[in-house]
Amino acid sequence: MPVPKAELHLHIEGTLEPELAFALAARNGVELPYADTGTLREAYRFQDLKSFLDLYYALMTVLRTERDFADLADAYLARAAAQGVRHAEIFFDPQAHLARGVGMGTVVEGLWRALGRSEERHGVSTRLIMCFLRDESAESAMATLDAATPYLHRITGVGLDSAEVGHPPRKFREVYEAAAALGLRRVAHAGEEGPPEYITEALDVLGVERVDHGLRCVEEPALVERLVRERVPLTLCPLSNVRLRTVDTLAGHPLPAMLDAGLMCTVNSDDPAYFGGYAGDTFDAVRETLGLAPERLRELARNSFLASFLEDDEERRARYLAEVEAYDFG
């Protein structure tokens, strides 16, 4: 039985497998610049975040209807459930769809067709987190928050993703203030490719409750100390870091040192269709390659539930945590 866990850093568009991309392309009459799924998979050799994002945005153009978003999310939830995910907090990138003429309602209600049935179908509870593209303007982010107004009952929080360097968190101060005023939870990608200062800014200027990636905190001992003291959860994505060359090898990933330092780490899959593994695969890779002790693995699973936005359902969180404590980590 796979480790019971929550997934807190997962871009739903990053779960688009080549087979589904071709099926949706055919259904929607969209032409893909690849002959077949094999040729497409060969393009999954990335130099950095940008080279990945170029393909990620190109491929998601096959997503056009509510049914497409529902199929995408349902396929992810089935895979996640099979790999031990009990709870998933799912990012989506509305600006990437709005720019192509796909409305906010199509995206959110499409995803909801799958998320609303996820507990009964897959045994996975879910939350939705709407991300702003940081390489778009602050005005565009604010317009996106506006466009989401009719769907806020479906959305738990806001996040910040896409090309990091040159787009510091402070660019989005106002939209995060507006999101907080609407009662939305706040997270942001920071310290993936960007410098440690972006992590500090995400905390101090945007008021985030979790940092997505946060990997580069290890360069600043004072920042590590603060993150430990304030118990700020980091949603690490080790396989993503390898594929996007943020770290040289998985064996050299700083996760063990980060846990030893007392950081509240979680492990997640980020964009599993592109980076070679879903949540369970990621856990297995970390276990096998980094040689973490059983109690460290338990800590990672426990942290995933402690860091999840389950404040409105503490009974559920307690149930999940009890499952982690009862699990035999070997």
Residues at the site binding ligand HPA, with contacts judged by CB under 6 A = 11, 14, 49, 56, 161-162, 189, 192, 240, 270-271
Residue 270 annotated as binding site: yes
- Contact present, 157 and 185 (Cβ < 8 Å): yes
Alpha-carbon torsion angle 73, 78, 82, 86, nearest 10: 60
Position with the least CB separation from Zn ion: 270
Return the closest-CA partner of residue 189 out of 159, 209, 217, 166: 159
Among ligand HPA, Zn ion, none, what does residue 74 contact (CB within 5–8 Å per kind)? Answer: none
Under the criterion CB under 5 A, does residue 270 sit at the interface with Zn ion? yes
Residue 11 annotated as binding site: yes
Least distance from C-beta 318 to ligand HPA, angstroms?
31
- Contact present, 104 and 147 (Cβ < 8 Å): yes
**4 φ, ψ (degrees, to nearest 5):** -70, 130
Among Zn ion, ligand HPA, none, what does residue 141 contact (CB within 5–8 Å per kind)? Answer: none
How far apart CA 115 and CA 136 sit, in angstroms, is 28
Catalytic residue IDs: 192
Among ligand HPA, Zn ion, none, what does residue 192 contact (CB within 5–8 Å per kind)? Answer: ligand HPA
Under the criterion CB under 5 A, does residue 201 sit at the interface with Zn ion? no
Under the criterion CB under 5 A, does residue 93 sit at the interface with Zn ion? no
Nearer Cβ to ligand HPA (111/310): 111
**Could you tell me the sign of the dihedral formed by the alpha carbons of 243, 247, 250, 255, in that order?**
negative
Least distance from C-beta 247 to ligand HPA, angstroms?
13
Q: Residue 181 class from Cβ within 10 Å (0-12 exposed, 13-18 middle, 19+ buried)?
A: exposed
- Site residues (vs Zn ion, CB under 5 A): 270
Query: Which residue positions form the known binding site?
Result: 9, 11, 189, 270-271
Query: Which residue positions form the known binding site for substrate?
Result: 271
